[in-house]
């Protein structure tokens, strides 16, 4: 059993037992024991002779705003939603460039956009595929890991790695090997009472950890509230949903486009007539071939299996709705039976003959009878004796599954295969309601969701035959913020080298899509963006960095259509992407491609794609409004806050908030304060104090009017 101690005693033990530099590994995202990390950091900061390097990713901090108007919106919301969530002290010092000389922080993934201007973080960023992180950190001499865990009174001898088995499960054997070689390696666990207890591989013996902090970390779990789903996002999600094949495999990421995809799949299932009408209106028949070849518009009769490094809220919503329900099994023979169709949705054999047809040995031997019983396919006290099968009622039948009488008698003893799950995930992060629903799962429901090591999910290596059988018709769906016209994707880094987020597992899934039969990588992209009144294309001729190289190009989806790039020539790729780009930029893109010699000088884009404009999509939204909910998966924002968020987003997109003249002009046509009294009270602008607040009030009113009318 681990040594139980207080938070400060755990710090004492680490400092006394690790002689020399501390190499601390912390989970990505939610699973960090922040209060204990802060206590250790405070001690090391005060002890300059001790060296510490922290290896981690996705350090979570409350949202902040630079502009006063946004701060007025955020502060009450942050206080309500994040409450007493303890932020990491080293992260604050990193932002302020005040890390002590004896502490270094290396990260392989950033909270998106949060560290663009932080030079120490940019310089100490590690670019690694998610599946390589355990290997890379172990090579750096990791000698301390610390993690939040969950407990279940029914399993007192175990902890659950809960939200973060991802790297930990891959790392533990590597650390144990070094420990066996005589190195000092410590592991620290701290219970968080609100973390859901996840079963399967995530459930580990308590003695996996050397130190158990007895002080429960009971502060608010960090959450990621659902953001509004825009018109662009909805159209992208609808088109992507048509590429998902019934009975297949699904991976999606976090964010509004992932929510839009989940919402569209729900509509495909529950409101199929309206769903078909809208997709057909979006497609104008141009993409019917891609849809027929890769997915479909019919409801998902067989359901999906989720295989996603991040277990997102959208996947739980799809499971709750019965769409994520295709079971896969950890046993290779069971998975072969499931793949062949011998088992029904609950894992029960359709018949004894179905097992034979799927390749099960006909002659019962002690070994295969034991397997049938242990796997759950046969129930009851069944014994082999003298070449016959003895049944619980004392009768006997031939030990040959081809025998009609044996088949008839065994039909009453058929049971459901054990160990079936509908989703494998490596880590999770989401809104508070997501955690609550996970906590409320009963034991049978909990067993359906398998949190496991990231290498199992993100790679085919190791148990490859099993993974290939499980991941049939996989659709790995991820987002990028830019595509080059030759098919390269950009998701993690700007042209100048500054990292927005990280590679994470995106490359892993794109590579898998090319390695798995019938799998596809689908990259989601908003075709254009607007900031401070300037509109730019997200499809460009060239970019100074790529995350996904063009030789791995596959399917790209924008709000205007679907581009299947696999196996196409450069000229064909360019034309396919032009068809789904915004028409305001098509002429310039064609000219750039022609100047580079990649398109014929007489190339003309089919005129059917000359109306790729927001106005066309806005007309579709007006006609099909029921499928364009702003928060289809729920919201932590009140109705007034939703209006305010929409207005602030409009102001940011249309105006340079530092330009006084521009702001003054925008405020001229604002409505009277009486039109939005609740909104002004929420922003403490009902009675402006001075010229600055009066301008804020007018700007907010202008934004409310514009965003409501649009």
Supply the pLDDT for residue 655.
76
Please answer whether residues 55 and 26 qualify as being in contact, where contact means their C-beta atoms are separated by less than 8 angstroms.
yes
CA 198 to mean position of chain CA atoms: 17
Query: Where in 382-454 does DSSP place strands (E)?
Result: 383-385, 388-390, 396-398, 423-428, 449-451
Distance of alpha carbon 698 from alpha carbon 710, whole angstroms: 18
Q: What is the token pair recorded at 363? A: 């002659």
Please answer whether residues 537 and 585 qualify as being in contact, where contact means their C-beta atoms are separated by less than 8 angstroms.
yes
Per residue in 433-470, is it b (16+ CB within 10 Å) or e — as a string? bbbebbeebeeeebbbbbbbbbbbbbbbeeeeebbbbb
What are the 10-residue block averages of pLDDT along the chain, 710 residues in total? Answer: 88 96 97 97 96 97 88 93 96 96 97 94 96 96 97 95 97 96 96 95 96 90 94 97 98 93 98 96 89 96 97 97 97 96 95 93 92 94 90 92 94 95 97 97 95 96 96 98 98 96 94 97 97 92 96 97 97 98 98 98 96 95 93 95 92 71 64 92 93 88 83
Distance of alpha carbon 678 from alpha carbon 190, whole angstroms: 43
Supply the pLDDT for residue 666.
60
Q: Which of 588, 554, 450, 468 is nearest to 517 (CA)?
A: 468
Query: 3-class secondary structure for 49-70?
Result: CCCEEEEECCCCCCCCCCCHHH
Q: Which of 7, 450, 389 is nearest to 189 (CA)?
A: 7
Distance of alpha carbon 267 from alpha carbon 77, whole angstroms: 31
**CATH topology match: 3-213 vs 231-327+422-615:** yes
Q: How many CB atoms lie within 10 A of CB 166?
A: 34
Distance of alpha carbon 312 from alpha carbon 610, whole angstroms: 36
Please answer whether residues 283 and 236 qualify as being in contact, where contact means their C-beta atoms are separated by less than 8 angstroms.
no
Q: What is the DSSP string of 84-128?
A: TPPPPHHHHHHHTT---TTEEEEES--STTTTTT-HHHHHTB---
Distance of alpha carbon 271 from alpha carbon 696, whole angstroms: 43
Supply the pLDDT for residue 303.
97
Q: Which of 139, 143, 113 is nearest to 14 (CA)?
A: 143
Distant-in-sequence, close-in-space partners of 664: CB < 8 Å, separation ≥ 6 = 695
Domain boundaries, the chain: 3-213, 231-327+422-615, 332-413, 639-709
Supply the pLDDT for residue 528.
97
Q: How many CB atoms lie within 10 A of CB 607?
A: 7
Distance of alpha carbon 71 from alpha carbon 149, whole angstroms: 34
Please answer whether residues 229 and 631 qualify as being in contact, where contact means their C-beta atoms are separated by less than 8 angstroms.
yes
- Superfamily of segment(s) 231-327+422-615: Acetyl-CoA hydrolase/transferase C-terminal domain (3.40.1080.20)
Supply the pLDDT for residue 664.
63
DSSP structural state of residue 158: E
CATH code: domain 3-213 is 3.40.1080.10
Q: Which of 234, 283, 225, 241 is nearest to 257 (CA)?
A: 234
Q: Which helix (H) or strand (E) holds 571?
A: helix 570-579
Q: Which of 523, 535, 528, 540 is nearest to 596 (CA)?
A: 540
Distance of alpha carbon 518 from alpha carbon 248, whole angstroms: 10
> Is the torsion defined by CA of 203, 205, 211, 217 positive or negative?
positive
Please answer whether residues 140 and 55 qualify as being in contact, where contact means their C-beta atoms are separated by less than 8 angstroms.
yes
Question: Which runs of consecutive H residues, i.e. helices, occur in 242-303?
Answer: 256-270, 272-283, 288-294
């Amino acid at each position: 059993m681990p040594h139980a101690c207080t938070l400060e005693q755990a710090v004492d033990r680490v400092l006394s037992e690790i002689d020399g530099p501390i190499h601390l590994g912390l989970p990505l995202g939610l699973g960090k024991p922040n209060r204990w990390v802060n206590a250790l950091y405070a001690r090391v900061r005060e002890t300059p002779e001790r060296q510490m390097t922290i290896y981690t990713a996705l350090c979570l901090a409350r949202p902040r705003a630079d502009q006063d108007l946004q701060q007025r919106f955020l502060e009450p919301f942050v206080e309500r939603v994040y409450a007493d969530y303890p932020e990491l002290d080293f992260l604050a010092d990193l932002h302020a460039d005040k890390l002590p000389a004896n502490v270094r922080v290396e990260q392989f993934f950033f909270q998106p956009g949060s560290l663009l201007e932080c030079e120490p973080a940019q310089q100490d960023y590690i670019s690694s595929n998610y599946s390589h992180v355990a290997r890379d950190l172990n090579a750096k001499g990791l000698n301390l890991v610390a993690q939040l865990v969950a407990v279940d009174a029914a399993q007192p001898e175990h902890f659950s790695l809960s939200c973060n088995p991802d790297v930990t499960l891959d790392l533990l054997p590597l650390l144990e090997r070094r420990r066996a070689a005589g190195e000092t390696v410590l592991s620290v666990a701290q219970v968080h009472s609100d973390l859901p207890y996840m079963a399967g591989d995530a459930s580990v013996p308590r003695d996996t950890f050397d130190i158990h902090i007895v002080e429960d970390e009971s502060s608010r779990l960090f959450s990621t509230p659902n953001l509004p789903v825009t018109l662009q996002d909805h159209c992208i999600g609808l088109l992507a949903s048509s590429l998902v094949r019934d009975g297949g495999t699904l991976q999606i990421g976090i964010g509004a486009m992932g929510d839009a995809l989940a919402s569209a799949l729900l509509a495909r299932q529950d409101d199929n007539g309206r769903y078909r009408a809208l997709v057909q209106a979006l497609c104008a028949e141009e993409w019917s071939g891609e849809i027929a070849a890769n997915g479909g518009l019919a409801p998902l009769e067989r359901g999906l299996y989720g295989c996603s490094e991040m277990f997102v809220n959208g996947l739980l919503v799809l499971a709750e709705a019965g769409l994520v329900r295709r079971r896969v099994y950890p046993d290779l023979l069971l998975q072969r039976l499931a793949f062949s169709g011998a088992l029904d949705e609950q894992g029960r054999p359709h018949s004894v003959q179905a097992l034979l047809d799927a390749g099960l040995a006909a002659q019962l031997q002690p070994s295969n009878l034991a397997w049938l019983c242990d796997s759950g396919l046969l129930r009851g006290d069944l014994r082999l004796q003298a070449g016959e099968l003895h049944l619980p009622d004392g009768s006997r039948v031939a030990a040959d599954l081809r025998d009609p009488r044996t088949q008839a008698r065994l039909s009453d003893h058929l049971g459901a295969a054990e160990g079936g799950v509908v989703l494998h995930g490596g880590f999770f992060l989401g809104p508070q309601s997501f955690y609550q629903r996970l906590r409320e799962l009963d034991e049978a429901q909990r067993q359906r969701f398998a949190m496991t090591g990231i290498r199992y999910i993100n790679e085919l290596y190791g148990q490859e035959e099993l993974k290939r059988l499980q991941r049939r018709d996989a659709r790995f769906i991820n987002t990028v913020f830019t595509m080059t016209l030759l098919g390269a994707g950009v998701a993690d880094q700007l042209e100048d080298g500054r990292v927005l987020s990280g590679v994470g597992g995106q490359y892993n899934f794109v590579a898998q899509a090319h390695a798995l039969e019938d799998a596809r990588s689908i990259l989601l992209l908003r075709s254009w963006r607007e900031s401070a009144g300037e509109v730019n294309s997200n499809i460009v001729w060239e970019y100074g960095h790529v995350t996904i190289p063009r030789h791995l190009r596959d399917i790209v989806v924008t709000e205007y259509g679907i581009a299947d790039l696999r196996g196409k020539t450069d000229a064909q790729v360019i034309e396919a992407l032009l068809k789904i780009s915004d028409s305001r930029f098509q002429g310039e893109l064609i000219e750039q491609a022609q100047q580079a010699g990649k398109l014929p000088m007489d190339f003309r884009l089919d005129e059917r794609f000359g109306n790729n404009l927001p106005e066309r999509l806005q007309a579709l939204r007006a006609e099909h409004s029921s499928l364009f909910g702003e928060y289809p998966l729920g919201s932590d924002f009140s109705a007034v806050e939703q209006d305010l968020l929409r207005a602030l987003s409009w102001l940011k997109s249309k105006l340079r908030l530092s330009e006084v003249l521009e702001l003054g002009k925008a405020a001229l046509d604002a409505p009277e304060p009486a039109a939005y009294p609740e909104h002004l009270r929420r922003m403490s602008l009902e009675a402006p104090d001075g010229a600055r607040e009066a301008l804020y009030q007018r700007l907010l009113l202008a934004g409310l009017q514009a965003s409501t009318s649009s």
